[in-house]
Structure 1
Amino acid sequence: MDSEDWDRKYAEQEMLWSLEPNRFVASELAGLPPGRALDLACGEGRNALWLAARGWRVRAVDFSPMAIARAKELDPEGSVEWEVADLTSYPFPSAEEDLVLVSYLHLPPAQMRPLLRDAARALAPGGVFFFIGHDLKNLTDGVGGPQDPEILHTPEAVADALSGLEVVRAESVTRPVGERTAVDTLVTAKAPG
């Protein structure tokens, strides 16, 4: 899907996602001391706003102008720096972020792998990389999410793209979706230093 497809999807509902942060973002990142965070594929901003409320200085990026407009409406004080940009050509900062968060970004491997590598380079020494996205196993064992196996993730593929980082956790995790269960890839890693 391109940004216009996502804009149409956001226009169909008042809120496409919940106002609460992703369950894994909240459970895995709640104990981190605040610093600078880069939220990639931020959508309507639920994770960025959650981080900002905990004292983080957050830059949140999405390629959907409609998603960023919604995020700004939810952030009247301007606690987050919102940016519309295509992440496949994004000028990532170098070694300055304490946290890089990638949530539910799905691209073909030829785009995803270099994007993850470049995003990992944005981490300051000791910074944390957090990734959550629909797992390939979701096609057979889960519900929802993209149905194209080429753009789904595995813990091994994501971890492999993060060369230079120490992978702390790389696994398939489940989450309830109504009466059913979805399968996600969760990877956390740390920059040396």
Structure 2
Amino acid sequence: MTNTWNEWFNTVEYMFGEEPNIFIKSYAAQLEGLKKVAAFAEGEGRNAVFLATLGHEVTAFDYAESGLRKTKRLAKKNNVEVNTVQVDLLEGTIPTQQFDAAIMVFGHFPKGKQSLVFDKIVNAVRPGGKIMMELYSEDQLEYQTGGPKELEMLYKPQNLLDWCEGSKILHLFVGEQTRLEGKLHTGLAHVIQLIIEKK
């Protein structure tokens, strides 16, 4: 896989803006008391930096070195620290049971690899920890307001439910939400939101 994200993020401007995803911001209280948080497929760091401003110890994982550099820059601008790790979530190794919580916002992978990535994220969290995600559903193709243009890279709600077996579902939403996040998320969208507690 060529690292096109590294090229996309190699700009001064933040492609998805500097503000956190509204789902993460709205449900951040779910992470209260969970000190160490991993932010997967974190891009330019907007969510990781936001959680760091709330007092969490955050590690941002992403494939794009340019995105991680911007994460550090945004953290400095907000007077916080964010650890960064460059890793390909499809091929790389993720620490096991090292975090109290994990988030992933619009991290999209080929259907044959989605469960692999999901398992890596869940395995990174200790029992009793929480995982929060917002993803584009397959119906997002009709909206054309952001995200992958191929069905292969979008998510089925039923698949996510299947992958959650063994965890406690705290929040599940499938439907329309407006997302105005930089240049690339620009209006009404169809998303899947998930918060689970690992048993």
Q: Which residue of 1 is the match for residue 20 of structure 2?
A: 21
Distance across 2 between alignment mates of 1:56 and 1:180 = 30
Question: Which SS does the other structure have where 2:16 is aligned?
Answer: coil
After TM superposition, give the deviation of residue 39 of structure 1 in Å: 0.4
Q: Does 1:158 align with 2:160?
A: yes
Structure 1 counterpart of 2:195, from 177, 188, 192: 188
Residues 11 and 164 of structure 1, relative CA distance in 2, 3 Å threshold = same
Identify the residue that residue 40 of structure 2 maps to in structure 1: 40
**TM-score normalised by structure 2 residue count:** 0.87
Amino acid of the residue matched to residue 26 of structure 2?
S
Q: Which runs of 5+ in 1 are unaligned?
A: none
In the TM superposition, what is the alpha-carbon distance from 1:59 to its structure 2 partner? 0.8
Percent identity at matched positions?
24
Deviation at 1:142, TM superposition (A): 5.6
Contact 1:51 1:58 in 2 (8 A): yes
After superposition, the CA RMSD in angstroms is 2.0
- State the Cα deviation string for residues 31-86 of structure 1 (Å, max 9, x = none): 43241101000111000001111111111011001111111112236611111111
Aligned CA distance change for structure 1 residues 156 and 169 (closer, same or farther; 3 Å): farther
Give, in angstroms, the shift of residue 141 of structure 1. Answer: 4.6
TM-score by length of 1: 0.89
Of structures 1 and 2, the one scoring higher in RCO (CA 8 A, sep 6+) is: 2
Q: How far, CA to CA, are the matches of 1:141 and 1:49 in structure 2?
A: 29
Q: 1:96, CA displacement in angstroms?
A: 2.9
Contact in 2 for aligned 1:117/1:163 (Cα 8 Å): no
Q: Would you say 1:115 and 2:114 are equivalent positions?
A: no
Contact 1:106-1:151 at 8 Å conserved across structures: yes
What is the DSSP-based 3-state SS (H/G/I as helix, E as strand, rest coil) of the residue aligned with 1:14?
A: coil
Residue 74 of structure 2 aligns with an amino acid whose one-letter code is L
